[in-house]
Structure 1
Amino acid sequence: MSIRNRWLMISVGLGILLNPLNSSMVSVAIPRLQHVFQLDYTVVSWIIFSFYIASAIAQPIMGKASDLFGRRRIFLSGLVVSFVASLLAPLSLNFGWLIVFRIVQSIGTSMMVAVGMAIVRIHIREKQATALSVLSIFLSGAAAIGPFIGGVIIHWWGWPAIFLVNIPFVVTSFLLAWRHIPNDVPSMTSVARNMSFRRWSDWIDAPGVLLFTVGLVALLVGLLSAKSSGQISFSNVIVGLIGFVGLAAFVRHELKAKAPFFPLRTFAKYPAMTWVNVEFMVVNLLFYSLFFGLPSYLQIVRHVSEFHTGMLMLSLGLCSLVASPMAGRWIDKSGPRPALLMSGVLMTFGSVWIVIMSLDQTSPVISVCVALAAFGISNGLNSVAMQAALFQSSPKEIIGVASGIFNTSRYLGTILSSLLISSVMGDNFSFEGFRVLGIILTLISLSLVFVNWRHKESGQLHES
């Protein structure tokens, strides 16, 4: 690979790592935010919901926008948006403003993720597979070490530092990208300028985006408000119903839309691919329930500092990074199903360990590393095996659409994990709540083991 291409890789890598880094650092910051803003976990969990909802919406839209405005322009604009959000978030007057800047940050970082891979595919012709694998390391590595970085900087400099730490990455990436990312040729900016508002709306499927956002947010507000207050009020029911109606209208609209935001018709046409996405959503529900739940448990219930929480969480990321390349070689020989079966077994073991650990309130804190290692290895297996299963189940002509749906499944699983934690824990984390969470995760992971065992025995992907 030439020196120029290496610098291009670095400039893109430093940009795309901001999305997983910021989504993972916050896992250690939640107890501190609860204390600073005097809020319960249910309310503070919107720091997670808002980021993933915005990412799920922004990434496909920005991918489309890059076709009109150019990938270089979208990438550089994303860096500017991320810079502004990172500067303003620490100045938030209240939690509401912090959520606003968190959403802006999610949009900015999503702009880079949406076009980063495409920039490498277009401009790096030699050893392209190696280049894409390096970008994957930027993404997975940032997610893996995010809790560790978050724990260290919060311990020494407070929660605003998890936003300010982005600035060196943003500035470096911008300077390198400005110099090393070539201009897009040909540019379709003139076409974009001549588009009418109605054509813009149809092009991005604005009605679909609006229905999805309103429906999902209203449903989450209704469910979380009922849990937070401890009772189901008339207003909770109304908001929840608005959410259900909005999502139902979204499904109906997407089935009829010519250029849908979320191509639901693809699910009906390819049931095997549909199951892969459902399984991927469940896998992320399991993983992120531990990822976001354990740091709060350690700090609130076991009184572990942010610094030591970050150190403990590092075992999760390291095990995941070590397992991924080993999983690749295994899957090349045996296919994805054996690895997915082993992943389910590991998550079941880790979930059972959570239950055992919460039964003994005097157990050493270091014992959480057993569950973290089990979930970390399983995540390394899943990151490769689920992608391989997607490629097996998706026709080549729709692999781009399939990849977009696949990423959305990840975000939905993450959102569901936060909803599960909020529903189980309520206002306060406790040994009992963490035990219930462990039991639920055990039941879900056992179901995955059963399904993958059936598939392994039959030697076929699931088809509905």
Structure 2
Amino acid sequence: MSHPRAGSSAPGRARSDWTIVALCTGTTLSALNSGMIAVALSTLRREFSVDVTTVTWVITAFYLTSSVLQPVMGRLADRYGPRRVFTIGLVIVGVAGALGPFATTFEWLVGVRVLLAIGTATTFPSAAAMMRSVAAITGLSAPKMIGRIQLIDTSSAAVGPVLGGLLITAFGWEGIFWVNVPLAIIAIVATRILAPHDGPREHVPLARTVAESDLPGILGFAVTVVTLLLFLLGLTTAPNWWFLAVAIVAGGLFTWRELTYDNPFVDLRLLAANVALIRVYATFILATLVLYSALFGVPQYLEDHAGYRTDAVGAMMLPLAAFTVILAPLVERVIDKRGIRTALIAGSIGLALAAFALQLLAASTSPATVLLLMAAVGIPYGVVLIAITQSLYVAAPPEHVGQAAGLFQTARSLGCIGATVVVGLSFSGGTAPADWNLLATAIAVLAVLFVATVVLWRDPRAARAAAPEVG
């Protein structure tokens, strides 16, 4: 059995704790901005005179950029130093926060959201890389420390709508951009003081690193997703079949590139050889679709139909993500005793029941009803999230855990992008109770599909690996 180094004493642990706090001031910015924008959609629609379908691009552009750049930023962190890349990303976040309030067009606003995504995309890969240095100094477990960062990031997703609601009510929509400036400065200062210094590295020209990042694969992925979105969002008016044709061609070229390139953006060969891993990503996308369709849809319905102030809406969204941190220790104990599959089935069934209950909002939007329904969705989602995350590490080959974790973040982004399509199509005619019924029905259908995927799609090897040990 290995023993901690001398550096893993109480002072070493204390420093690692403060380092995690410092890094989380940066890594939480992505989740915070996602939560804040969820309660700003109605305000932005009025401010820039756009419809529900159009306003979802402030979300779609953010997640598309993030999904494309996360793997690239991980490569940059490894080559040029995670502390350096982390700091540069935070500077970009600060610049985006300062530019956002001066947006005079919706296109400018979307551009600022892309800039925000570029900055925040650096934080988690860089923080994960820095944890290896912290572990080497303290003797503590890097995966456990990274897990703590993920847990804190998840909890910040619950704070985002509350903070966004307060800022919008007090300072207007501009407040959700301004707040990034002081947060980025705090994160930069804390990181410079507490994060480990980058070690010496071989000088590699940036052009070489970019060239090795599979730019054709990234371009094929982006074109496929964007053109497919444009086609889907036009289904309720005048579908543009050319967009669908381009998406099919771009998707085919992307698949060919990734299967033949030595260092692909998305390792399709890894997926083809591991059905259990595909199942993990499929279930994560479906679970994310359910949660984020509610997160992006409920605030607009409550503001437009029920007339709630934005700060009240933000507060009522809190139960949607707040329970994940509270449930984590309990769910982990259940998984230890009963296995991942048991927790995943229980969570998926609970999520489906909550999805069907969302129809109640068409009849009542009282604060008590909203809070109970958000908790009803948030609690089983917390169970599902923890179980799926553990499934990832069971299904992924040890030598490919890094790649698998990167694709896990991509799956989350795809689920969030899909949620904007679901909300955009459901609310294309307005945000009245009938429109809410349509969205709630779509969420329920997705939840049932999620349950079916969890229950019916089994991989014998993963099931044996995920089963609890019997002493």
> TM-score w.r.t. structure 2 length?
0.91
Write the mapping of 1:95-174 to structure 2, written as runs, cut at 5 A: 95-124=106-135, 125-128=138-141, 130-174=144-188
Deviation string, structure 1 residues 75-132 (Cα, Å, up to 9, x no partner): 1101111110000011112110111111011110111112112212222334335533
Tell me the distance in 1 between the aligned counterparts of 2:181 and 2:423. 31
Write the mapping of 1:316-355 to structure 2, written as runs, cut at 5 A: 316-355=320-359
User: Which of 10, 22, 43 does residue 54 from structure 2 map onto?
Assistant: 43
Residue aligning to 2:105: 94
CA contact 1:220–1:240 (8 Å) conserved in 2: no
Change (3 A) 1:98 1:363: closer
Tell me the distance in 2 between the aligned counterparts of 1:456 and 1:371. 30
Tell me the distance in 1 between the aligned counterparts of 2:289 and 2:450. 12
Residue aligning to 2:232: 223
Tell me the distance in 2 between the aligned counterparts of 1:100 and 1:324. 36
CA contact 2:348–2:384 (8 Å) conserved in 1: no
Matched, 1:404 2:402: no
Write the mapping of 1:8-407 to structure 2, written as runs, cut at 5 A: 8-124=19-135, 125-128=138-141, 130-188=144-202, 190-192=203-205, 197=207, 199-227=208-236, 230-232=237-239, 236-358=240-362, 360=363, 362=364, 364-407=366-409
Deviation string, structure 1 residues 5-38 (Cα, Å, up to 9, x no partner): 3332222110111011111110000000000001
Deviation of 1:459 (Å): 9.8
Change (3 A) 1:271 1:453: closer
SS at match of 1:357: helix
Change (3 A) 1:221 1:240: same
Tell me the distance in 2 between the aligned counterparts of 1:456 and 1:338. 13
CA contact 2:78–2:129 (8 Å) conserved in 1: no
Tell me the distance in 1 between the aligned counterparts of 2:65 and 2:172. 25
- More displaced, 61-70 or 130-139? 130-139
Change (3 A) 1:140 1:106: same
Residue aligning to 2:6: none
SS at match of 2:238: coil
CA contact 1:337–1:456 (8 Å) conserved in 2: no
Change (3 A) 1:433 1:167: same
Tell me the distance in 1 between the aligned counterparts of 2:457 and 2:277. 14
SS at match of 1:17: helix
Calculate the aligned-residue CA RMSD, in Å: 2.1
Show structure 1 runs of 5+ residues with no match. none
CA contact 2:283–2:453 (8 Å) conserved in 1: no
Change (3 A) 1:50 1:181: same
Deviation of 1:365 (Å): 4.2
Tell me the distance in 2 between the aligned counterparts of 1:310 and 1:347. 21
Deviation of 1:443 (Å): 2.4
Tell me the distance in 2 between the aligned counterparts of 1:318 and 1:67. 33
Deviation of 1:400 (Å): 1.1
SS at match of 1:384: helix
Tell me the distance in 1 between the aligned counterparts of 2:26 and 2:216. 30
Tell me the distance in 2 between the aligned counterparts of 1:258 and 1:92. 42
Percent identity, aligned pairs only? 29
Show structure 2 runs of 5+ residues with no match. 1-9, 466-471
Tell me the distance in 1 between the aligned counterparts of 2:154 and 2:145. 14
- More displaced, 332-341 or 440-449? 440-449
CA contact 1:272–1:462 (8 Å) conserved in 2: no
What amino acid maps onto 1:192 in structure 2?
P
Tell me the distance in 1 between the aligned counterparts of 2:195 and 2:121. 18
Deviation string, structure 1 residues 311-338 (Cα, Å, up to 9, x no partner): 1111223223322222111112211111
Deviation of 1:224 (Å): 1.7
Tell me the distance in 2 between the aligned counterparts of 1:178 and 1:149. 26
Residue aligning to 1:452: 454
What amino acid maps onto 2:45 in structure 1?
Q
- More displaced, 58-67 or 319-328? 319-328
CA contact 1:141–1:321 (8 Å) conserved in 2: yes
- More displaced, 4-13 or 150-159? 4-13
CA contact 2:395–2:462 (8 Å) conserved in 1: no
Tell me the distance in 1 between the aligned counterparts of 2:410 and 2:401. 14
SS at match of 2:212: helix
Deviation string, structure 1 residues 221-250 (Cα, Å, up to 9, x no partner): 2322443xx223xxx222332222212211
> TM-score w.r.t. structure 1 length?
0.92
Deviation of 1:364 (Å): 2.8
SS at match of 1:261: coil
Tell me the distance in 2 between the aligned counterparts of 1:277 and 1:267. 10
